[in-house]
Amino acid sequence: MLIKGLQKLTLLDYPSKVACTVFTGGCNFRCPFCHNASLVTHIDSECINENEFFSFLKKRTGILEGVCISGGEPTLQPDLEQFIIRIKDMEFSVKLDTNGYRPDILKNLCNKGLVDYVAMDIKNSPEKYALTAGLDNFDFAKIEESASFLLNGDVDFEFRTTVVNEYHEECDFAQIGKWLRSDAKYFLQSFIDSGDTIKTGLNPHSDENLGIFLNTLKTYMPNAQIRG
């Protein structure tokens, strides 16, 4: 596993659980507003030893309840399944953050009972997905497959969108709502410039606009909320 970072305690990343977050290196997207750009573009940097991580986790038994696996894009890691098995063997819950572009991996992990919670990023409306993901060659069917699997499956999950002034407008959330129409949990989170983005000069929407987008989305997804 290319473990590039470890947040030793989080009360926010894993709903209703005290957890830690592991950040993996590498991604198959190039979202201009990615707030962990160094995890995408500098995967040759120093890694955290996997055994060191499990030593840390052992010491947190009885304190932590879960492990969030984020990125980058974790499903690119060839030994992700074995990594999760080790975590589950220690009786921790596992949350997986994913962009949904590898539905085969997502399905395999969930069907084997290795993932307890999935957070899937929804980058934008179908028409603007490739632009927002930063890719020229893009297969939207993979995103549809992952979203459909979660919507029709048994694993607890949420959808979430980072809202960026330069990439999102109200009509996008109408299109997203029509596409995913359901009672699923959906969170809008405002873009925050971390100083580590792929493209500079991007901006958040105003709180007023964020509220408008939420109301539009709630027409189709009544459980949508603003996070943060």
What is the helix, strand, coil percentage profile of the chain, to 5? 35, 20, 45
CATH number at 3-162: 3.20.20.70
Residue 69 sits at the vertex; the CA angle it makes with 98 and 1, to the nearest 5 degrees, is 105
Cα–Cα dist 138/130, whole Å: 6
Please give the structure tokens belonging to residue 112. Answer: 């084997």
pLDDT tens-digit readout, 129-162: 999 999 999 999 999 999 999 999 999 999 999 9
Q: Is residue 42 predicted with pLDDT exceeding 70?
A: no
Of 1-5, 119-123, 213-217, which range is least confident?
1-5
Tokens of 224: 């949508």
Quickly state the pLDDT bin for 187 (edges 50, 70, 90): very high
Which pLDDT band, with edges at 50, 70 and 90, does 222 fall under?
very high
Residue 45 pLDDT exceeds 80:
no
DSSP 143-208: HHHHHHHHHTSSSEEEEEEEE-TTT--HHHHHHHHHHH-SS--EEEEE----S--SSSS--PPPHH
Of 221, 154, 151, the C-alpha closest to 186 is: 221
pTM higher than the cut 0.85: yes
